[in-house]
């Protein structure tokens, strides 16, 4: 899933070398965190979030085939400390969401 998102994003941006996609897996949920150059942020989000929503739709369709749920987050900052904190928080939130869905 990470490769799909990375490929799509790299086709859209002006600085493909600065694209980073991190994949965090839980039981039935996959979180994809996207980081791009500051100048490319608008291209990835799109007017009114259209590009971001289209990306989420494509990834959601691919995930449905695998019977998984994918959450796509576009990160505004690239701080290593913030990324580590976000990963831990997201893992906990994802676990809670998965528990709620199974009820």
The domain spans of the chain are 2-102
- Using one digit for the tens of pLDDT, what is the confidence trace for 7-54? 999 999 999 999 999 999 988 899 999 999 999 999 999 999 999 999
Asked whether 45 and 35 are in contact (CB, 8 A), the reply is no
Which is it for the CA torsion 58, 64, 66, 69, positive or negative?
A: positive
How much is the pLDDT for 46?
A: 92
pTM score above 0.75: no
Class of domain 2-102: alpha beta
Q: Count the residues in the chain.
A: 103
Looking at the predicted structure, is the pLDDT value of residue 93 above 80?
no
Asked whether 90 and 51 are in contact (CB, 8 A), the reply is no
Looking at the predicted structure, is the pLDDT value of residue 81 above 50?
no
How much is the pLDDT for 98?
A: 59
Question: For 75, which DSSP code?
Answer: E
Mean pLDDT of 50-62: 94
């Amino acid at each position: 899933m990470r490769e799909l998102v990375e490929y799509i994003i790299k086709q859209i941006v002006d600085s493909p070398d600065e694209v980073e996609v991190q994949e965090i897996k839980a039981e039935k949920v996959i979180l994809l965190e996207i980081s791009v150059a500051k100048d490319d942020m608008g291209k990835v989000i799109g007017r009114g979030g259209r590009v971001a929503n289209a990306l989420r739709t494509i990834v959601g369709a691919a995930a449905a085939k695998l019977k998984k749920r994918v959450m796509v987050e576009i990160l505004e900052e690239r701080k290593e400390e913030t990324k580590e904190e976000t990963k831990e928080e997201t893992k906990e939130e994802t676990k809670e969401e998965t528990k709620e869905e199974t009820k």
